[in-house]
Structure 1
Amino acid sequence: MRTIEICAGAGGQALGLHNAGAKHVVLVEIDSDACATLKLNNKKHSLNWGNILEQDLKKFVENQAEEYYGKIDLVAGGVPCPPFSKAGLKLGPKDERDLFPTALELINKVRPKAIMLENVDGLLTSDFDEYRSKLQRKLNRLGYSAEWKRIQSSDFGVSQKRARAILIGFKSPYKQYFQWPSPTINKPKTIGELLFDLIASKGWKLADDWKKKANGIAPTIVGGSKKHGGPDLGPTRAKNEWQKLYVNGHRIANEDEIPGKDFKNYKLRNGTTRTGYDYMPMLTVRMVARIQGFPDFWEFTGAKTNSYRQIGNAFPPPVAESLGKAIQKAIKLGDTKLTKKLEAAE
């Protein structure tokens, strides 16, 4: 399954599709740190991905897309979320960051067998009914039958409440063979179970007790845009949810801030203590990446804020893998049908 991956970010979706058997021909990402992350992991783990382009998607579509006509099975990617999120004021097509039209132009020029685009589940609200319908009508005119679905990441083993809007479409005859994947796991690991080895790695005496108290899954990890926000675990509502899991979400910890043997509370940079957070550790970049579904071997480039943003904006690899396997199955069955049809005609 040959793919073009757009808005590839730190490679969450790309890694999941790779694990499903995809062969990435080209990956397009405008952020320099994210591109460095993709190139680092591609080389270090011998993934054999194709061209990793640090480039504006619009320029790629304008200048290079046509050379891939008829050579691609799947166009996939997670176009920017702010146009459809509360934080982004839900401006939709009025937001300059809306790249759905660019994705459609790419599909028109490449004509893959299948497409998969993901975004925040806010795109599935009534505010965007007409917008979604308009996208589907345009795809229909291009010869694709497409369907939206809300996917909850925790249904696929990710220890996080992360619902996404997924658009999957196919040319004929592939659509008839596609089935949305069923949940792979009913009960993902709690945060305590998932992160215990990392939290306890410096000998914290109360790590076992913390593991029992951190007995739920995480709220949505948010990366945010470069326009605002630092490396913390989200708005006040999310921080309150983290506090119930005995995690301090006010900032992302450095590795040297993993709880030591006698860890008790969190001190601010000026030396004062934030009340109400006794025995509540902060999370490191590696811990957040594990919550997002990245394997521990996956490395992130850039400063802590940039690394965290790459993780928070990623599509969980386990979810992408499940969807990718279902798409690949449909493509293989469709190809088999077309081959038999051609043989019968001869």
Structure 2
Amino acid sequence: MKAIELFAGAGGLGIGVSRAGFKPTSVVEWDHWCCDTIRENRKRDASAIAHWPEPIEGDVSHVDFTSHEGKVQIVTGGPPCQPFSLGGKHRAHQDSRDMWPQAVRAVREVKPQAFIFENVKGLTRETFSTYFSYIFLQLTYPEIERGKTESWVEHRARLESHHSSGSNSGLSYRVIPPRVLNAANFGVPQKRERVFFVGFRSDLGVEWSFPQETHSREALLCAKHSGVYWERHQIAKRQRPDLGDFRGGSAEALARKPWLTVRDALEGLPDPEFSPTAAARFLNHKFQPGARSYPGHTGSPIDEPAKALKAGVHGVPGGENMLVRTDGSLRYFSVRESARLQTFPDNFAFHGSWSETMRQLGNAVPVTLAEVVAKSVAAHLKASGRKPGRA
């Protein structure tokens, strides 16, 4: 199956989609350093993206997708999230960085069987509820274009009228109600929440729901209280923290796997501060000095999933992207450690300075989370293709 990857960034979503069995025919990204990262990894032996085409470096609004019509099964991407990010300026549709209209245009021109788009949790804030529903309606009826003199509010009203009419003519998609997924609940060692928009072309008749969560906080607490977690990491009893009473959890939550922690993610990596020579054997694994904690930016405890890595509007927000050891000391995560937290493979190299590569990682989708969603979509598309009369 073929795919088009928009707003590719460093490739987190795209790698997950590729692992699900899709082969990208076009990869679009405007940022030079991200494109360099993709170009470099296309050349690496056994790279996760060795089969990717040369990325199109530039503004997606200048890319014509009509030549892909009917030839691609899925369009994926993460439209720039700064307009909606809790760390941004919250301008949404008034922000020139809002690329949702271009995502809709790609769907309109390609007419894929399905799409997967993701964005920051901030998009679901009440402040953006009207625009959120506008995105949903555009993805449902991508052929109903906004007029040149039409405001987005007027366009939304026209889309609502069409939706209410019950008309099933033209290109339309069954868009599953968007959901915020916490990556930690799917085996990512990071509490990272992203909202996903998934849709299937209406003529396919696909019934789909988001994958079930596989990991839980309750299961991690159980593993700690039983000693299983500490024994796995060979932590002596005298070094284990006092966890208090264990109040258990639902049978459903306890039946899942434990959340993965920072300690789980960094297993096998030498500490770049105290073992720089050993650390140098790993790509992008170098100590970065200058970490400090301050109110609201206290880093990630080693025995919990990491806090969400952040890119920052004006450079890396240092207090967020830090490791906190059990003795209270702290340091910045190296680029390789951050890549582990985002579930990138160890042979995936990042280009640019520390702040630049951390920005790439702070904007990325965890590979594992993308893979879970994309594999479910792929399975339903394959099942749909086996039904009589389905294209």
TM value normalised by structure 2: 0.70
Match runs of 1:4-83 below 5 Å? 4-44=4-44, 45=46, 47-60=50-63, 64-83=64-83
Is 1:328 the equivalent of 2:365? no
Counterparts of residues 270-289 of structure 1 (less than 5 Å): 279-289=329-339
Equivalent in the alignment of 1:254: none
CA distance in 2, matches of 1:317, 1:19: 9
Within a 5 Å distance, the mapping from 1:156-175 to structure 2 comes to: 156-174=186-204
Cross-structure match for 1:224: 312
Q: Alpha-carbon deviation of 1:342?
A: 7.1
Preserved CA contact (<8 Å) 1:5 1:77? yes
Q: What is the deviation of 1:278? A: 6.6
1:140 CA displacement:
2.6
Closer, same or farther: CA 298–5 of 1 in aligned 2, 3 Å? same
Q: Displacement, 1:173?
A: 4.2
Indicate which of 258, 269, 282 corresponds to 1:198.
Answer: 269
Checking the alignment, whether the CA contact within 8 Å between 1:29 and 1:55 is kept in structure 2 is yes
Q: 2:344 aligns with which of 276, 286, 294?
A: 294
Q: Which is richer in helix? A: 1
**What is the root-mean-square deviation of aligned Cα atoms in Å?**
2.2
Asked whether the 8 Å contact 2:189–2:264 carries over to 1, the reply is no
Q: Secondary structure at the match of 1:5?
A: strand
Shift of 1:335: 1.4
Show CA shifts across 1:275-310 (max 9, x none): xx9743332111111111111111001122211111
Distance 1:197 1:140, change over 3 A: closer
Distance 1:197 1:290 in 2: 11
* Residue 341 of structure 1 pairs with residue 344 of structure 2: no
Q: Which of 162, 169, 175 is 1:146 aligned to?
A: 175
Give 1:79-228 correspondences, 5 Å limit.
79-142=79-142, 143-147=172-176, 148-174=178-204, 176-186=206-216, 187-200=258-271, 202=274, 214-225=302-313, 228=314
Residue type of the alignment partner of 2:335: V
User: Following the alignment from structure 2 to structure 1, what is the Cα–Cα distance between the partners of residues 17 and 133?
Assistant: 27
Aligned partners of 2:16, 2:107: CA distance in 1, in Å? 21
Deviation at residue 51 of structure 1 after TM alignment: 3.8
Structure 1: unaligned runs, 5 residues or longer:
205-212, 248-276
Cα 1:342–1:290 change in 2 (3 A) is closer
CA contact (8 A) 1:169 1:175 kept: no
Cα pair distance change 1:113/1:292, threshold 3 Å: same
Count of residue pairs the alignment pairs up: 292
Shift of 1:189: 2.3
Measure the CA separation in 1 of the matches of 2:124 and 2:88: 15
Residues 131 and 194 of structure 1: CA distance in aligned 2, closer, same or farther (over 3 Å)? same
Measured in 1, the distance between the counterparts of 2:87 and 2:27 equals 27
* CA distance, structure 2, for counterparts of residue 154 and residue 175 of structure 1: 31
Structure 1 Cα separation of the partners of residues 42 and 384 of structure 2: 30
Instruction: Give the Cα separation in 2 of the matches to 1:110 and 1:88.
Output: 31
Once the two structures are superposed, what CA deviation does each residue of 1:191-214 show, in whole Å capped at 9, x if it has no partner? 12322432447559xxxxxxxx72
Give the stretch that moved more between structures: 193-202 or 158-167: 193-202
Question: Structure 1, residues 65-95: CA drift from partner, whole Å, max 9, x if none?
Answer: 1111111111100111110012222111011
Give the drift of 1:32.
1.0
| Aligned residues of 1:174 and 1:330 also touching (Cα < 8 A) | no
Letter aligned with residue 189 of structure 1: L
Q: Which AA in structure 2 matches 1:144?
A: Y
**DSSP 3-state at the match of 2:75:** strand
Residues 124 and 279 from structure 1, CA distance in 2 versus in 1: closer, same or farther, beyond 3 angstroms? closer
Following the alignment from structure 1 to structure 2, what is the Cα–Cα distance between the partners of residues 35 and 191? 28
Q: For residues 132-188 of structure 1, what are the alpha-carbon distances to aligned partners after superposition, in whole Å with 9 as ceiling and x for unaligned?
A: 211222233230111311111001111111000110111124453423111233323
TM-score, length basis structure 1: 0.79
C-alpha distance in structure 2 between counterparts of 1:127 and 1:196, whole Å: 41
- Amino acid corresponding to residue 389 of structure 2 in structure 1: K
One-letter identity of the residue aligned with 1:229: G
CA contact (8 A) 1:9 1:29 kept: yes
Alpha-carbon distance, 1:224 to partner: 2.6
